[in-house]
Every structure is written in C-alpha cells, then in structure tokens.
Chains A and B, each alone.
Chain A
Amino acid sequence: MKIGEIAVITHNTQTSEDFIKSICKKIDVKNGIVSFGRFDANDQLGLHLYGISLDKEDKNVSWDLISRKMLAYIIFFDWENFSSLETINPILDKFSNNVTAPIIIVANVKDMDQPPIPKSFFINKGIAFSANCRFLFGQAEQPESARKIMVLITNMLLEKVAG
C-alpha cells in the first residue's frame, strides 16, 4: 500500500484535530505533540495526516528531517487572531527555504459562507505565493472546505509533475 504523509501545522491543537476529523472522520492516535488520522482511499492508497500544534511544539522537533518525507504541508492560522499568524511565521520562513513539497497556508475563518474576500479569488487555485506555496481561506471543521484544500494539494502535485 502506498502512503502519502501530510503535515497539518496549526497554532493550536483544536484546529489541527478539526481538520483531520474533516478528512479522516476520527483521530487515531493523539499525544502531547501530534494528532494522527488515516484516510484509506482503497487498499492500494492511503493518506496519513499528522497534526502538529505549534503551541505545544517541542523545540527539538527536527523539522529538517520530517520535512523531507512529507507529501505536502497545510499550515493553519486564525484569520481573526493576529497572534496566531505570528506563531506560524517562523515555521513559514523555515519551510520556504528548505521545503520543495506543496505548502498551503490556510487562514481559518469561522464561516466559509462569508469569507473576507469573495471565494472566486482563491477557491480554485489559492493566491499564489510561489510555485510551491499558496494561500487561501478555509474552515478547518468543514469537510467541504477540507476537501477543497486536498484538491488543491493534488493539483499542485500534478502541476509539479507536468512542469
């Protein structure tokens, strides 16, 4: 079975767990630092989602080792909470230099029916930051929004192959 691993990095545990539950239905394993969820597409293909919360991050986490193995990164912050953006900034900077896998920065909003800007500006491709980094609005606990993020990751991976 082929397994793709995706890191879901958030400013708090709740957001990463909400997102993993939106995709995998349940959290399989949970410890102080990491939440883990599994999505099996069929007996040949699976996705493993690792939720890593930065508020509990062990400063000794070897990002340089972890980052090479991941299929993609989803980094959440709370749009209405500027300090959550400041929490993820160092990790964004670290990844922008070391990571070639797709990075999706998601501004988590309370209601995706009323995002800060019209959906047409970000819903399909996100706002491009670079070839492997996009920004969009999303709602961690909403399955439809989570699916859009997964579709965007797939598209970015396909673009990499095609490019």
Chain B
Amino acid sequence: MIYVIHAAFLHKSKIFDPPINRDFQLVRKSIFYFLNGYRGEQLLKKKVFFMYDKNECSLRPAEKVNILWKLFKDEKVGDLVDSFDTRGVIGLQNFLWETAAEFGVICRGKNFSSNEITRKMTSTSKYQEKQGCTERAYYCKGTQCILSNPECARKKIKEQVNIIAESMQEYIRIERNKENF
C-alpha cells in the first residue's frame, strides 16, 4: 500500500513517472530516502528513480540483429527510437555507441577518438536552451531524463543515434575504399 501511495505522490509531483517492472530493491531504496526527508532534486542526486543500469537495458540479440540490418541497409536507425520502450531506447543508444567505437578503432586505429562522433552532436547547453529547459546540465542525459521527461529525452537520443549511425556508415565507406585501393 505504501508503495502505491508513494508512487502516486511522486507521479503527482511530476518527479517520477513510475516505470513498469522496476526493481523491487530500487523501490525500497527510494522509500528509504523519501521517508528520510529527501525530496525532488535530492532524490535525483541519489539516482534512486532515474537511472537505468546499463545491463538492465541491454537489448535482446534479435533486436540487435534488426538494428544492424537497418544500419547496413542504409535505413534510418533513429526511427527505431519511436518503436522501442524506454529500456529499448537506452539499449539502442548503448549498443550503437559500443559498436561505433569498435568500428572506429578498426578504421582509425590508435587515432580514433570518441570526440570525432560527439563533436557532431548538439551540445547539452545548446540542446537545453533550444528546449527551454532550466534543469542543470547533468540532468540532460538521455538515461536520466527519459523517465521524467521522455518526449524531450527521446528527441535528443534520436538525434544522437542518427549521428552515431552516420559515423558508422562513414567508417564503412573509409574501410571499403581502403579495401578497393
């Protein structure tokens, strides 16, 4: 009962959008902090509601094959963001990021830096400004805001996913030219 009241309160206060199947331990932890007087931003800092664990969001192999299918067939991977649930969206971003880094290392060797991908992305401050968001910069992570402000976070992740996918396609082009050379 207390969980329901607690969740309802947080939902009403717009700081917590209760996700389905949350880890029971996480709920207990959140109640502990809540009963001990933590509110709003303090709860955010404790990361009791807003952070998904990386392994928790790992996609199923079938989903990963589908992503590669789209990617290597030159289709827009970013569109997948609309079809995935919250965990899936984070999983998609993680998987693409890891694979892009692998491709980058193969293509560029020691010269690879993740900056060559991230510099194409809109900076957090600019993105927040564009969205009229007044939260602190470190909240503007897809993995955090995806629960409290899913629409904005999904938009950001979609843009990033498209940029990562474009970078991967660029690595493929470079490597293909090397093979043909």
Q: Which residue numbers of A lie inside 8 Å of B, CB to CB?
A: 77, 82, 85, 88-90, 92-93, 95-96, 103, 105, 107, 116-121, 127-130, 133, 135
Contact = CB atoms under 8 A, between A and B. Distances in A.
Interface of B: 58, 60-62, 64-66, 68-69, 72-73, 98-99, 102-103, 106, 171-172, 175-176, 178-179
B175 A135 contact: no
B68 A82 contact: no
A113 to B, nearest CB: 11
Given A82-B69, A127-B68, 20 more contacts: A88-B62, A89-B62, A89-B65, A92-B62, A93-B60, A93-B62, A95-B61, A96-B61, A96-B62, A103-B61, A116-B73, A117-B72, A117-B175, A120-B106, A121-B172, A121-B175, A127-B99, A128-B98, A133-B61, A135-B64
B35 to A, nearest CB: 36
A117 B168 CA distance: 11
Given A92-B60, A93-B60, A127 B72 contact: no
B65 A117 contact: no
Nearest to B59: A129
A57 B176 CA distance: 39
Given A117-B72, A120-B106, A121-B103, A130 B61 contact: yes
Interface residue SS majority, chain B: helix
A86 B65 CA distance: 10
A120 to B, nearest CB: 6
A82 B62 CA distance: 12
A15 to B, nearest CB: 16
B61 A128 contact: no
Interface core residue of B58, B65, B106, B179 (most chain A CB under 10 Å): B65
Contacts of B60: 92-93, 96
A135 B95 CA distance: 13
A107 B176 CA distance: 19
Nearest to B175: A118
15 contacts: A82-B69, A85-B69, A88-B62, A92-B61, A93-B60, A116-B73, A117-B172, A117-B176, A118-B172, A120-B106, A120-B175, A127-B99, A127-B102, A128-B102, A129-B64
Q: Point out which of A89, A95, A129 has the most chain B C-beta atoms below 10 A from its C-beta.
A: A129
